[in-house]
Structure 1
């Protein structure tokens, strides 16, 4: 195994195409210097040396800040980052939660029980305007990027569906096709004021040449049955976890999920400073004794890649905007499943599985010829469990 860190030279005027031309000269190196996308240095970490006898996927998680309230500029930044990752051979690139549209950290949107402020309504209007329609022109551009740079792309966005917003992950293949989406099922705390609730109809696992890819967003990774749905047939191999959580305990969650599921975990978070958000009084970080200084860190990143056996392959990075990469030996999935698998597919020999929950029961109907043909739908408000056919 080989791990390295490189500081990438600042050059904000270079185009994505010029980035690739420079990087092609260094393609055989694990680390490729290329321009930063913001004021600070950009670090890249690469972990190399996979087993040549098994399929290997080079993956990158992006740790970078949104250009808040400016979706076209954020898309431009995403393309520069994508070009940079592709220039040294990444086949799969994962962006943070809400990268397109922005994560409104520190904002209350003027909400109190029984009261909403005019300033909060205007803040929501601007946030709604920054979101994207799915499908829509921004989705088309993201698809074109994936095809242009020949990568599988997992992108966190704020999806606009009429006047309801969803925290969503979009999936694209290396041919430039939009594969599908996952809507965050359970927004956390005050997120529920601005984001709608997803449901079990968007818990996809995509079988691709670079592995079986799925995603769960931020704290919905705490939902055991959502994870179980992803671990079941066809069985996620590359578990993407876009997040906004930079706390140390997040690393423990990511390691647990990797070991529990026998899968690679790729967690991408933003690294943000106060200056990455609009200045006060247009945008105020509620809960701070006084407004933060422009260079104050408001989200410290912590993006990480973890193996199915719980080994940290790259990261966590708390230093700044970064491209954090590793070669994923997909043979590690089978090695981990030899020890333990959370979904025992031997139950496919049964037609009916009944789990008594005390106050109710969970009933799953299985088709033994098609393995497990049901998904789990976690109805959080009623704490009841349902199934539906895929």
Structure 2
């Protein structure tokens, strides 16, 4: 086995929107498909399980105390994932069976925060089926704040994967210099950026982060059209009345450590896209720039990170 080479898969697929059980089944099917291609790391988009809160932009999501938004939100929470209750165990078991690592975007119904608020979390599962980290999005973006709670720094962690060191962020966190620096400083050289699913997010930032970090960057987003909304979605007619026909066109892509495309953004196609990454390219590009190594000045600027898991109650 050559530890310098890593086969990766980008799962640019649509969830069964706001249906946890059906989306889990689709994840497991994607894992089986990727395993047949000898995939060693499979990545899904932001909030993929059970889906992104698209309704907020089309149902007057900021309107106070409305029945429509309350009922859709309650449906969303019911379909969020309680990790402590073992709701990802089936995915973990398959990861172990297939010897495949995963980054999976989930809506987390966090038991350590009472179990009623939800967090946009990026879960890393290693090839032994163990959860390595659960990164709760630090700052939900714009209308996301109407349904998602802000996270903490506990999940700002990296993980060994063959010769690589992988880390990841959710959506617009990838635009935040300090969280990126927190991962770079731990040796990250394969950066995972997950998105709801549009090339206007991925086409510029993916190449920039790769060039800044002299790392591989994998960006993954979902596809989403009217056909992907289950018929039993609460207030579906109201959501679709204003929603565009295409809510997510994917935009999944890979940039190399020189910032050039390995896989240009894939638009409007549902499927799993594959590539093989060569770790040696990281070492080549770090020769002339390493933002936390030889091209840093920690005597002048340093970053402090609080990785405590935040909770309202601490029992002695």
TM-score tier after normalising by the smaller chain length: 0.7 to 0.9
- Equivalent positions of 1:71-82 (< 5 A) are 71-82=20-31
- Equivalent positions of 1:49-60 (< 5 A) are 55-60=4-9
Asked if the contact 2:56–2:143 (Cα under 8 Å) also holds between the matched residues in 1, the reply is no
Alignment partner, residue 269 of structure 1? 221
The CA deviation string for residues 103-127 of structure 1, in whole angstroms up to 9 with x for no partner, is 12143565436x2201211111100
CA distance in 2, matches of 1:138, 1:211: 28
Of residues 278, 282, 305 in structure 2, which corresponds to 1:376?
305
Cα shift at 1:313: 1.2
Alignment partner, residue 62 of structure 2? 112
Alignment partner, residue 186 of structure 1? 139
Alignment partner, residue 39 of structure 2? 90
CA distance in 2, matches of 1:53, 1:134: 33
> Tell me, what secondary structure is at the counterpart of 2:93?
helix
> Tell me, what secondary structure is at the counterpart of 2:254?
strand
> Tell me, what secondary structure is at the counterpart of 1:66?
coil
- The alignment's TM-score, normalised by the length of structure 2, stands at 0.87
Asked if the contact 1:61–1:268 (Cα under 8 Å) also holds between the matched residues in 2, the reply is yes
Of residues 104, 115, 121 in structure 2, which corresponds to 1:168?
121
Alignment partner, residue 199 of structure 1? 152
Bigger relative contact order, structure 1 or 2 (CA pairs below 8 A, ≥6 apart): 2
CA distance in 2, matches of 1:139, 1:188: 26
Count residues in correspondence: 301
Cα shift at 1:184: 0.7
- Equivalent positions of 1:143-158 (< 5 A) are 143-158=92-107
Asked if the contact 2:252–2:265 (Cα under 8 Å) also holds between the matched residues in 1, the reply is yes
- Equivalent positions of 1:1-390 (< 5 A) are 55-108=4-57, 111-112=61-62, 115-161=64-110, 162-209=115-162, 211-233=164-186, 235-248=187-200, 250-279=202-231, 282-283=235-236, 290-291=241-242, 296-344=245-293, 353=299, 355=301, 364=302, 375-376=304-305
Asked if the contact 2:49–2:107 (Cα under 8 Å) also holds between the matched residues in 1, the reply is yes
- Change over 3 Å in CA distance of 1:329–1:231 after alignment to 2: same
Asked if the contact 2:42–2:100 (Cα under 8 Å) also holds between the matched residues in 1, the reply is yes
CA distance in 1, matches of 2:296, 2:10: 35
Asked if the contact 2:210–2:257 (Cα under 8 Å) also holds between the matched residues in 1, the reply is yes
Asked if the contact 2:159–2:166 (Cα under 8 Å) also holds between the matched residues in 1, the reply is yes
CA distance in 2, matches of 1:133, 1:301: 27
Cα shift at 1:317: 1.0
- The alignment's TM-score, normalised by the length of structure 1, stands at 0.72
- Change over 3 Å in CA distance of 1:103–1:53 after alignment to 2: closer
Asked if the contact 2:3–2:163 (Cα under 8 Å) also holds between the matched residues in 1, the reply is no
Q: Which runs of 5+ in 2 are unaligned?
A: 308-316
- Change over 3 Å in CA distance of 1:53–1:291 after alignment to 2: closer
Asked if the contact 1:54–1:329 (Cα under 8 Å) also holds between the matched residues in 2, the reply is no
Larger radius of gyration: 1
